[in-house]
Amino acid sequence: MSAAEGPLVVGVDTSTQSTKALVVDVATGRIVASGQAPHTVTTGAGRESDPRQWWDALLEALRQCGEPAREAAAVSVGGQQHGLVTLDAQGEPVRPALLWNDVRSAPQAHRLTEELGGAKGWAERTGSVPTASFTVTKWAWLAEHEPEAARATRAVRLPHDYLTERLTGQGTTDRGDASGTGWWSSGTEAYDEEVLAHVGLDPALLPRVVRPGEVAGTVRDGHGLPFSKGTLVACGTGDNAAAALGLGVRPGVPVMSLGTSGTVYAVSRRRTADPTGTVAGFADARGDWLPLACTLNCTLAVDRVAALLHLDREAVEPGRGVTLLPYLDGERTPNLPGASGLLHGLRHDTTGGQLLQAAYDGAVHALLGALDLVLEEDADRSAPLLLIGGGARGTAWQETVRRLSGRPVQVPEAKELVALGAAAQAAGLLTGEDPAAVARRWNTAAGPVLEAVERDEETLARISGVLSDAAPLLDRDHGVRDG
């Protein structure tokens, strides 16, 4: 391994399934070392993880990085959004964290929306209309169903906050991840005291919001870390804002991320307030905005369909008669938290490969519909769509996105963009640069461009029609089911 050309930084991605760490050369963007360790997620009534697993996984990922991690001058943590981490007076978890894809708080989301100004009022106040994914609804669920745990809570954190606090000993967050809680006002860029009072959450339990470019703290002694005491720690951010940094995305460039969840977003200079709730008006990690729409069912749901059919995930076959809405975990976009999957148009001659292709089509249809709302009216609709995430390198995903979008698709060669974005954020502390400019200097978005093909309007219209007809059945429990 050749010597680094500049100082080294560490970027961390604590995601739903694992924690990954990259050691990156600030001068060149070269990945000097990497490590990864898994987490456990419950699959019962909800989706939960013990935050202490994230810390253990971080230590293991850093151990795998070896000596380069010890030389790092700064570190930053990007992580899964929305999760509710409740800590006691000793900083230990009161209970497992409620993850972003835990939809048990759908009734609370419905009630909060009605009780505090309706969808329009929430959009104007926080930039978003709360869904079961948002942290505020999870706190409301906890207070209602586990009041003893709520009373025992002395600090409320997001997943990336938890790791940053264990690094520094200080409770901090950033505007990007704070904007996904539902209790941070996008208009005032401060915690919303009326929302907090309504859900019975003392603002003193929340972390300080660190400004973009500000040092969150320094690494404290010990705890099995490879870093020297005093190593700089950036504020970190949510996974989508970190990936946007990792790509060095400029305003108006569309991004589609294919992972456990699917997301579409674009950096904007303007604050978004969508009263339909489809587009979340998140802040980004730099001072701009990141209007974003998210689906709960993406690669994991399609892989499940492939497994049920005993097919490889690439074993798709063309077919235009069957529709599959893969809402296996409920759905956020469209907002159908009580939904399950739906199959329509099955015939004797339908093949397994056609069913699998229909699952891809259903997942991508939801994302593209949301993308039309994310992009501003004057956006260039023919510009390449940046395709990232675990599914982006799959041929079936690439071809489905091309066919249903009618756009050229660019697949960046850089992997682990959330960790790279965190690394760029850490690098910015050392160089004084805009982290997105750091990533552009590293050329992280470089990759092949797949030419546009004719848009498959027939399939898009068929899926839209099935969804419209079936929506009342799909979401028959919305606003009623509790638990």
Range of the domain at 268: 248-411+448-475
Residue 242 lies in a domain: no
Mean pLDDT of 381-396: 90
Q: Is residue 382 over pLDDT 90? A: no
Do 68 and 105 reside in the same domain of the chain?
yes
Residue 281 lies in a domain: yes
Which position has the higher pLDDT, 373 or 72?
72
In tens, the pLDDT along 241-288 reads 999 999 999 988 999 999 888 999 999 999 988 888 889 999 999 999
Tell me the pLDDT band of 355, cut-offs 50, 70 and 90. very high
How far is residue 149's CA from residue 143's CA, in Å, rounded to a whole number? 8
Determine the pLDDT at residue 370. Answer: 87
The residue to which tokens 């948002």 are assigned: 134
Do 227 and 328 reside in the same domain of the chain?
no
Residue where a domain stops, chosen among 189, 212, 235: 235
Q: Considering only CA atoms, which of 315, 333, 193, 199 is closest in space to residue 277?
A: 333
Q: What percentage of residues in the chain have a pLDDT greater than 70?
A: 96
Determine the pLDDT at residue 347. Answer: 94
Tell me the pLDDT band of 221, cut-offs 50, 70 and 90. confident
Q: Is residue 2 over pLDDT 50? A: no
In tens, the pLDDT along 84-97 reads 999 999 999 999 99
Determine the pLDDT at residue 56. Answer: 96
Pairing state between β 172-174 and 85-87? unpaired
Residues 6+ apart with CB under 8 A from 252: 266, 267, 268, 375, 376, 379, 380, 383
How far is residue 474's CA from residue 330's CA, in Å, rounded to a whole number? 9
Do 383 and 278 reside in the same domain of the chain?
yes
Query: Is 81 known as a binding-site position?
Result: yes
Determine the pLDDT at residue 78. Answer: 97
Determine the pLDDT at residue 1. Answer: 40
Angle, to 10 degrees, between the axis of helix 435-442 and the axis of helix 417-431?
110
Report how far apart the first and last C-alpha atoms of the chain are (Å, whole number): 53
Determine the pLDDT at residue 476. Answer: 58
Determine the pLDDT at residue 3. Answer: 63
Determine the pLDDT at residue 375. Answer: 86
CATH number (domain holding residue 129)? 3.30.420.40
Four-residue CA torsion sign, 433, 10, 87, 48: positive
Both structure tokens of 140: 């409301």
Q: Is residue 200 over pLDDT 90? A: yes
Do 125 and 227 reside in the same domain of the chain?
yes
Kindly list the catalytic residues.
Answer: 239
Residue 276 lies in a domain: yes
Q: Is residue 479 over pLDDT 90? A: no
Do 67 and 103 reside in the same domain of the chain?
yes
Do 327 and 462 reside in the same domain of the chain?
yes
Asked if 100 and 83 count as a contact pair (C-beta separation under 8 A), the reply is yes
Four-residue CA torsion sign, 152, 157, 162, 166: negative
pTM: 0.87
Residue 260 lies in a domain: yes
Do 83 and 124 reside in the same domain of the chain?
yes
CA distances from 396 to 72, 169, 350, 402 (A): 39, 45, 18, 10
Asked if 329 and 301 count as a contact pair (C-beta separation under 8 A), the reply is yes
Tell me the pLDDT band of 483, cut-offs 50, 70 and 90. very low
Determine the pLDDT at residue 472. Answer: 81
Do 152 and 266 reside in the same domain of the chain?
no
Do 292 and 182 reside in the same domain of the chain?
no
Determine the pLDDT at residue 475. Answer: 66
Residue where a domain stops, chosen among 200, 235, 270: 235
Secondary structure in 3-state letters for the chain = CCCCCCCEEEEEEECCCEEEEEEEECCCCCEEEEEEEECCCCCCCCCEECHHHHHHHHHHHHHHHCHHHHCEEEEEEEECCCCEEEECCCCCECCCEECCCCCCCHHHHHHHHHHCCHHHHHHHHHCCCCCCCCHHHHHHHHHHHCHHHHHHCCEEECHHHHHHHHHHCCCEEEHHHHCCCCCEECCCCEECHHHHHHCCCCHHHCCEEECCCCEEEECCCCCCCCCCCCCEEECCEEHHHHHHHHHCCCCCCCEEEECCCEEEECCECCCCCCCCCCCEEEECCCCCEEEEEEECCCHHHHHHHHHHCCCCCCCCCCCCCCEEECCECEECCCCECCCCCEEECCCCCCCHHHHHHHHHHHHHHHHHHHHHHHCCCCCCCCCCEEEECHHHHCHHHHHHHHHHHCCCEECCCCCCHHHHHHHHHHHHHHHCCCHHHHHHHHCCCCCCEECCCCCCHHHHHHHHHHHHHHHHHHCCCCCCCCC
Q: Is residue 389 over pLDDT 80? A: yes
Determine the pLDDT at residue 112. Answer: 96
How far is residue 109's CA from residue 140's CA, in Å, rounded to a whole number? 8
Q: Considering only CA atoms, which of 58, 420, 386 is closest in space to residue 242?
A: 420
In tens, the pLDDT along 81-133 reads 999 999 999 999 999 999 998 989 999 999 999 999 999 999 999 999 998 88
How far is residue 201's CA from residue 390's CA, in Å, rounded to a whole number? 36
Q: What percentage of residues in the chain have a pLDDT greater than 90?
A: 79
Residue 338 lies in a domain: yes
**Structural domain total, the chain:** 2
Query: Is 425 known as a binding-site position?
Result: no
Do 133 and 212 reside in the same domain of the chain?
yes
Task: Kindly provide the b/e burial profile for residues 143-172, where b requires at least 16 CB atoms within 10 angstroms of the residue's own CB.
Answer: bbeeeeebeebbbbbbbbbbbbbbbbeebb
Do 56 and 156 reside in the same domain of the chain?
yes
Do 213 and 277 reside in the same domain of the chain?
no
Q: Is residue 477 over pLDDT 60? A: no
Mean pLDDT of 9-33: 96
Q: Is residue 321 over pLDDT 70? A: yes
Residue 91 lies in a domain: yes
Residue 296 lies in a domain: yes
Q: What is the mean pLDDT of the chain?
A: 92
Mean pLDDT of 151-171: 97
Residue where a domain stops, chosen among 174, 204, 235: 235
Residue 453 lies in a domain: yes
